[in-house]
């Protein structure tokens, strides 16, 4: 049955609409897009979004790792500082213990008394005796001694001459080494002691010394070796006829040293 012109027109119009609808591009978010360009663009956008998300996740992960590394690095530094401090403390403790052991077993040489051997007479030499001991636990090797005696008065002390002379003697003593092969001073016990004897020249024994207007000062030095090291003892006694007992001289308030 043949179609009328109107029916054929409507049929052709419907076919054109159907074909136009098929060719029309669909939404980019629709992956079933029939247009190849549109479909590729949609997949490219999804891929790009995936890369962005992956990059963000990777960045967050790296930041977390960096934070943890910094924290771990701080902890490691603190541990290193603590370990170094502990090692220093241990080294100091060992050094102190070593020094204590040396001090406990080494020789210690020093005077324990001084006296005049007789009465003081004008124009006559004054003889005196210095008693000393080794109160340590090992012998003092290479023993050396020196004595400086002089007469002084209050004016000399106020002027500083007394202190200046004693200072020079101390420097001389500290520069004195123990002598290899010299006398050995063995440890003493109880009241046992060694003795040194000295004499104040007669020309220094004036009337002022006899009356107590002037005083006699006796400064001494011991140099010796112990614990593989040189050591020194410096001592000082004084006598004044008005203030001192000849059998036990007074100890100076300065001029003493021991190492």
Residues in the chain: 259
- CA 236 to chain centroid, in Å, comes to 34
Same domain, 46 and 129: no
Please list the residues that pair with 139 across neighbouring strands: none
What is the overall mean pLDDT for the chain?
A: 84
Q: Which of 104, 121, 146 is the last residue of a domain?
A: 104
Which pLDDT score is estimated for 159? 63
Same domain, 124 and 239: yes
In terms of Cβ atoms closer than 10 Å to its own Cβ (0-12, 13-18, 19+), residue 113 is middle
Q: Is the pLDDT at 20 greater than 80, yes or no? A: no
CATH number, domain containing residue 162: 2.60.40
Same domain, 113 and 100: no
Q: Which of 35, 70, 104 is the last residue of a domain?
A: 104
Same domain, 193 and 78: no
Same domain, 27 and 49: yes
Q: Is the pLDDT at 178 greater than 90, yes or no? A: yes
Which pLDDT score is estimated for 8? 72
Q: Which of 78, 104, 130 is the last residue of a domain?
A: 104
Same domain, 51 and 83: yes
Tokens of 73: 């690095």
Tokens of 155: 């004016």
Which whole number is the average pLDDT over 228-245?
Answer: 95
Which pLDDT score is estimated for 28? 47
- Count Cβ atoms below 10 Å from residue 194 Cβ, excluding itself: 18
Alpha-carbon distances, residue 52 vs 17, 118, 152, 158, 176 (angstroms): 41, 110, 99, 93, 84
Instruction: Count how many domains the chain has.
Output: 2
Tokens of 229: 């090291």
Q: Is the pLDDT at 202 greater than 90, yes or no? A: yes
103-130: pLDDT as tens digits:
778 999 999 999 999 999 999 999 999 9
The whole-model pTM stands at 0.62
């Amino acid at each position: 049955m043949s179609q009328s012109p109107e029916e054929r027109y409507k049929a052709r119009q419907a076919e054109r609409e159907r074909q136009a609808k098929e060719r029309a591009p669909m939404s980019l978010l629709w992956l079933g897009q029939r247009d190849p360009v549109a479909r590729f663009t949609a997949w490219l956008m999804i891929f790009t979004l995936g890369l962005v998300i992956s990059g963000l996740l990777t960045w967050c992960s790296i930041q977390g790792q960096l934070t943890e590394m910094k924290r771990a690095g701080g902890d490691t530094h603190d541990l290193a500082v603590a370990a170094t401090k502990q090692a220093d403390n241990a080294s100091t403790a060992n050094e102190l213990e070593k020094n204590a052991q040396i001090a406990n077993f080494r020789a210690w040489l020093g005077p324990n008394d001084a006296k005049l051997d007789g009465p003081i007479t004008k124009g006559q030499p004054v003889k005196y005796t210095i008693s000393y001991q080794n109160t340590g636990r090992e012998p003092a090797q290479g023993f050396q001694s020196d004595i400086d005696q002089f007469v002084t008065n209050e004016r000399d002390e106020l002027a500083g001459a007394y202190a200046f002379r004693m200072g020079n003697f101390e420097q001389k003593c500290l520069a004195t080494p123990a002598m290899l092969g010299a006398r050995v001073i063995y440890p003493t016990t109880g009241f046992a002691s060694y003795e040194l004897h000295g004499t104040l020249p007669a020309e220094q024994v004036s009337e002022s010394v006899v009356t107590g207007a002037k005083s006699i000062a006796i400064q001494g030095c011991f140099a010796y070796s112990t614990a593989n090291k040189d050591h020194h003892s410096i001592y000082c006694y004084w006598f004044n006829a008005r203030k001192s007992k000849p059998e036990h001289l007074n100890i100076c308030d300065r001029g003493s040293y021991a190492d």
